[in-house]
Structure 1
Amino acid sequence: MSFADLLAEDRRLVILRALAEDHDFSLNDGTLKRVLAHFGHGVSRSMVRGDLQWLADQRLLRLERIGGGGGELWVATLTEDGADVARGRPHPGVARPAPG
């Protein structure tokens, strides 16, 4: 596994755990970009969106795109499967949380 793969797996776990902690299990891509930066992943919005699309393709979250053009906002909502992975159920491509 490459270093880039390890980083991607960790970013995806951070996203799922952030969604799991939100009161309605839903956050926009701008907020998730700030959350990722707080946890040491200073990445572009396009990279956040790539991870969100990957997680949506895995059915770990649902995506809604609001607006259009340069003002488009992506809203991610955690699915039940995504919540299970955030709590530690193994899923290829997503890091597992540490115990405790």
Structure 2
Amino acid sequence: MTDFDAYLTYDARLIILRELHKQTDGRLNEVLLTKALDAFGHNRSREWVRTQLRKLVELGAVKVTEIGTVMVAAITRSGVDHVERRAIIEGVARPSPEA
């Protein structure tokens, strides 16, 4: 993976965490996360998004439940701490300070 590929991947993971953090219950399915990533210029397949969700599980940032053939991600306390800049998760882009 090139440095730029890693940058894009880490940025996409941050977008996933931010989108989950925005939700009242902290959850979204892979289809909605794919659309959110597309809105931010990350035009990726559902399988790629599923791979990123699995990586975020490994990093402790999300929990995933499979309902039928769809993955539903829920942000964890560690993921919230990263989005709110209280902690750093390696492998996820660091959020910029809110203005």
TM range (shorter): over 0.9
CA distance in structure 1 between the aligned counterparts of 2:20 and 2:14, rounded to whole angstroms? 10
Kept after mapping to 1: 8 A contact 2:59/2:89: no
**Runs of 5+ consecutive residues of structure 2 not aligned to the other structure:** none
In the superposition, the TM-score normalised over structure 1's length comes to 0.92
Match of 2:23 in 1: 22
What SS is found at the alignment partner of 1:94? coil
Partner of 2:34: 33
SS at match of 2:15: helix
Point out 4+ residue stretches in structure 1 off by more than 6 angstroms: none
Q: Quick one: which amino acid aligns to residue 7 of structure 2?
A: L
Task: Indicate conservation of the 8 Å contact 2:14/2:93, yes or no.
Answer: yes
Q: Which amino acid aligns with 1:76?
A: A
TM-score normalised by length of structure 2: 0.93
- What's the % identity of the aligned pairs? 38
Q: CA separation in 1, counterparts of 2:36 and 2:14?
A: 12
1:73 matched to which residue of 2? 70
| Residue type of the alignment partner of 1:74 | M
- Displacement of 1:2 in angstroms is 0.9
Size of the alignment, in residue pairs? Answer: 96
